[in-house]
A and B are shown apart, each in its own frame.
Chain A
Amino acid sequence: MKLDSKIPEGPLAEKWARHKFGLKLVNPANKRKYDIIVVGTGLAGASAAASLAELGYNVKALTFHDSARRAHSIAAQGGINAAKNYQNDGDSVFRLFYDTIKGGDYRAREGNVYRLAEVSVNIIDQCVAQGVPFAREYGGLLANRSFGGAQVSRTFYARGQTGQQLLLGAYSALSRQVTTGKVKMLTRTELLDIVVEGGKARGIVTRNLITGKIESHSAHAVLLCTGGYGNVFYLSTNAMNSNVTAAWRAHKHGALFANPCFTQIHPTCIPVKGDYQSKLTLMSESLRNDGRVWVPKTKEDAEKIRKGQLKPTDLKEEDRDYFLERRYPSFGNLVPRDVASRNAKYVCDEGRGVSKTGLAVYLDFADAIKRDGRKTIEAKYGNLFEMYEKIVDDNPYETPMMIYPAVHYTMGGLWVDYNLMTSIPGLYALGEANFSDHGANRLGASALMQGLADGYFVIPYTVGDYLATIGPADKLPVDAPAFKEAEQRVTSQIQRLLSIKGTKPVDEFHRQLGLIMWDYCGMSRNAEGLKKAKKMIQDLKAEFWSNVRIMGENEEMNQSLEGAGRVADFIELGELMVDDALNREESCGGHFREEHQTEDGEALRDDANFAYVAAWEYQGENQPETLHKEILEFENVKLTQRSYK
């Protein structure tokens, strides 16, 4: 298989404009003859569904939530980047492009990233027009703040609820199209299979989560806007129900899965407290602007703190190790996410971690409070401190906050070309579900930007090209054999799951998988561990299919059955992630291979051998997958080693 990224020819800044002109159009009267299915209603899905319906296509949008408004995009706090240069501080489309490509450690396509930066400005205009209440200056102009990985202020925000406001904007546009009748909205409906026939995506098979009914839906094109797969780690900042099922089942039909091992670990999350823990909560990265990260210098002191014999505030200044400031004097506590996370892990591995579990470091605001006064700190971080206190029951104004890294975002995903089409014609992937724009590491405030760019400003152009090519007649009826076979596959998998009647609840398998992934394919990885993990995952898979216990039946609302299907897919994905991590013999961005580091323990990229996208092709149950390489070409940026010393 030859991977064709379809990056247009020409100078970087003209690629998208030229490409748009080259794309075939569907004339307005013909648009109503095409049906498009949009799976997922987060930022990418809702914006795509609304925009396509506005153009005149018949859209069917589905979500497993009870409402389109609940997608996990809603939880994004910080903001959304856009190269508006409203601050007159030297921002430009090229600078946003450059920061994103560098931040991604040179593992993303130049063409895609440039387009992302280019349309970023339109996103802000669109959202403001929808009534998104972005923060404003007193004079009435939009406010900006700065974010990690950038030296300009280009982040637009709506308090600490930017994701929510952007999603509600897209949801309102979607709701408007539901009223016009151009979007048919299916809630509490989960995709369980994709129908591919004659080399094209033809539709999907879903389960109604209330009645258990298995149904087929036919369309000319299918858009997967189903988010990331961070929940493969069980504990992550993702929502409980976020899953990889749609992407994974597409993968099993031939859609390539790209860079699965690229996961982002966010350094400032509230630490795990016990085995019962179901989810990790992110604390905004902005806290590192004023908080100082430290652990005790000695294991003995750390031990005493863990046992509650010593309070952190009692520890003398000279007994504390401000390890980020010590190792990275110029960036200090503001090193990028991956570096901060890894270092926290190291000190905890040395036995110097705090909290009862030993898996936490301090983020201390005492100096900032002394310097700026409590009022100032309260104004900046009041709501975050409150949230922390609600969860941990500690007052961060008086005792240092405890933080630990947690899985936050997955840069990998379904391989797509410049048109966002997967390797299956007619099947598209948008937002976090695809792999395209963030390389090996995503910058803060860029996820929202990408989801909306894909949905509002890319797919409305690119999907038309495909539809115009195939023509309105190229669609299967839902009673075609391909659909019946898919329904059969889905039904038999459900029956198989229900008939195991083992002893272990689904969650326990998920938790076990998470631990394996976290220990061996998490913040830092090595060949030996990865090989071990592969074996463990295979064993877990075998145990799952012989010992999982699911109560109830299919013909009702059954949350354990829903969970079981998702965990089954996560287990298979876990193995592919391990394979991908093993294959990538370099360290880059979120992927840190212990064998590949500089003398002082920093990530060591290998551009000569690994400047490629690793796209994996499914070969059948328990068969090793085939690797396809899409070589990344850099014509506009110079590849450099990141240094934050």
Chain B
Amino acid sequence: MKINLKVWRQKNNNTPGKLVEYQLDNISPDMSFLEMFDVLNGELTKKGEEIVAFDHDCREGICGSCSMYINGRAHGPQTGATTCQLHMRSFNDGDTIVVEPWRARAFPVIKDLIVDRSAFDRVIQAGGYVSVNTGSARDANEILIPRTVADEAMDAAACIGCGACVAACKNASAMLFVSAKVSQLAILPQGKAESQQRAERMVAQMDAEGFGACSFTGACSVECPKSISLDHIARMNREYLGAKLTSDNVQG
């Protein structure tokens, strides 16, 4: 296959970037999208040019590192998959493919296609946990959790933190990411004790990071590699409102 690439190149956060065109002639349809980038980088090195920097690691759709906006869509044309799970057979010979980094104020570009997603970590640090020290847990079977509840919690917990939801949202909103964690821990009995505080703090941190507001377009859920449901956003809204109306925190 022949592929024309238009790739976002940007030296660092302080330098403006631009789309640069590359041509690749010997692309196998069985290659993964990232292997196609390996080929490009091999050729660039041989030509004495700097390679295209991009985040990637597990290459099996679970670590959440890869983050490319391909032909106008987060993780490319496939749904329910990450960039590393996309294969060149999804494209046609001679196609032009535009590849950009995630774009959001809260995700500044570090280099080329790599963005800084530490905002997600800070949101989790604000309350995405159960306060239990090592060694103080009681027997795992002591609290019954009905299978349907465990399954729903698992649906939310499947989030890989890739940021496709933010990238795809027209408002660069992080609601799907934040709500997945709020929801998971709100459903499970273990997370109940702190659920009000958690919702308040995580939403406050989400706002402080500069993400947009949710307008419920549903783009996040469609582009989410784990197809996380909008139900969790509704649950977070509920948790947050409930917390604001009933918690004894009068300061905010």
Please indicate whether A and B come from the same complex rather than being unrelated chains. Answer: yes
A173 to B157, CA, bound (A): 15
A279 at the interface (CB under 8 A from B): yes
Contact A560 B51, beta carbon cutoff 8 Å: yes
Chain A min CB distance to B165 (Å): 15
Count chain A residues whose beta carbon lies closer than 8 angstroms to a beta carbon of B. Answer: 81
A457 at the interface (CB under 8 A from B): yes
Chain B min CB distance to A544 (Å): 14
Q: A140-B145, A175-B124, A273-B30 are in contact. Are A133 and B160 (CB under 8 A)?
A: no
Chain A min CB distance to B112 (Å): 9
B83 at the interface (CB under 8 A from A): no
Q: Label chain B's interface by main secondary structure.
A: loop
What is the size category of the interface that chain B forms with chain A?
Answer: 35 or more
Residue of B nearest to A392 (CB): B30
A28 at the interface (CB under 8 A from B): no
**Per-residue contact bits, chain B 115-147, to A (CB 8 Å; 1 contact, 0 not):** 011101100111011111111111111011111
Contact A136 B130, beta carbon cutoff 8 Å: no
A473 at the interface (CB under 8 A from B): no
Contact B160 A141, beta carbon cutoff 8 Å: no
Contact B117 A67, beta carbon cutoff 8 Å: yes
Chain A min CB distance to B188 (Å): 5
Contact B134 A557, beta carbon cutoff 8 Å: no
Contact A72 B57, beta carbon cutoff 8 Å: yes
Contact B55 A131, beta carbon cutoff 8 Å: no
Partner of A556 from the list B12, B131, B157 (CB cut-off 8 Å) is B12
A592 to B135, CA, bound (A): 41
Contact A67 B125, beta carbon cutoff 8 Å: no
Contact B35 A239, beta carbon cutoff 8 Å: no
B32 at the interface (CB under 8 A from A): yes
Partner of A173 from the list B28, B111, B134 (CB cut-off 8 Å) is B134
Partner of B63 from the list A72, A135, A178, A282 (CB cut-off 8 Å) is A72
Within 8 Å CB of B124, what residues of A?
171-172, 175
Chain B min CB distance to A75 (Å): 5
Contact A241 B140, beta carbon cutoff 8 Å: no
Most buried by A among B56, B63, B120, B137: B63
Interface residues in A598-615 by Cβ distance below 8 A to B read: none
A132 to B190, CA, bound (A): 9
Contact A133 B157, beta carbon cutoff 8 Å: yes
Chain B min CB distance to A292 (Å): 25
Residue of B nearest to A138 (CB): B147
Residue of B nearest to A130 (CB): B130
Q: A131-B130, A176-B129, A507-B42 are in contact. Are A142 and B141 (CB under 8 A)?
A: yes
Within 8 Å CB of A139, what residues of B?
144, 146
**Per-residue contact bits, chain A 134-171, to B (CB 8 Å; 1 contact, 0 not):** 11111111100000000000000011010011001001
**Per-residue contact bits, chain B 190-215, to A (CB 8 Å; 1 contact, 0 not):** 11000000000000000000000000
B45 at the interface (CB under 8 A from A): yes
A50 at the interface (CB under 8 A from B): yes
B95 at the interface (CB under 8 A from A): no
**Per-residue contact bits, chain A 254-283, to B (CB 8 Å; 1 contact, 0 not):** 000000000000000000011011110110
Q: A131-B130, A142-B141, A273-B30 are in contact. Are A560 and B65 (CB under 8 A)?
A: no
Contact A557 B110, beta carbon cutoff 8 Å: yes
Within 8 Å CB of A210, what residues of B?
110-111
Contact A559 B51, beta carbon cutoff 8 Å: yes
Within 8 Å CB of A130, what residues of B?
129-130, 132, 190
Chain B min CB distance to A271 (Å): 11
Contact B57 A70, beta carbon cutoff 8 Å: yes
Chain A min CB distance to B22 (Å): 15
Residue of B nearest to A505 (CB): B45
A622 at the interface (CB under 8 A from B): no
A128 to B145, CA, bound (A): 10
A415 at the interface (CB under 8 A from B): no
A253 to B24, CA, bound (A): 45
Partner of A131 from the list B28, B57, B61, B184 (CB cut-off 8 Å) is B184
A566 at the interface (CB under 8 A from B): no
Partner of B150 from the list A125, A136, A161 (CB cut-off 8 Å) is A136
Within 8 Å CB of B137, what residues of A?
122, 125-126, 128-129
Contact B87 A549, beta carbon cutoff 8 Å: no
Contact B190 A128, beta carbon cutoff 8 Å: yes
A220 to B53, CA, bound (A): 36
**Per-residue contact bits, chain B 33-74, to A (CB 8 Å; 1 contact, 0 not):** 011001101101110111101011111111111000000000
Q: A161-B158, A240-B59, A277-B35 are in contact. Are A460 and B134 (CB under 8 A)?
A: yes
Contacts beyond the supplied A65-B65, A176-B125, A393-B87: 12 A-B pairs with Cβ under 8 Å: A70-B161, A74-B58, A128-B137, A131-B129, A159-B154, A176-B131, A179-B126, A239-B59, A278-B32, A278-B38, A281-B60, A390-B85
* 8 A-B pairs closest in CB distance: A140-B144, A129-B137, A172-B129, A125-B137, A51-B134, A133-B153, A128-B140, A136-B150
A-B contact pairs, 20 of them (CB 8 A): A67-B161, A68-B121, A72-B57, A75-B58, A122-B135, A126-B134, A128-B140, A129-B137, A129-B140, A131-B129, A131-B190, A141-B144, A158-B157, A164-B160, A165-B154, A175-B121, A175-B124, A239-B58, A390-B78, A551-B44
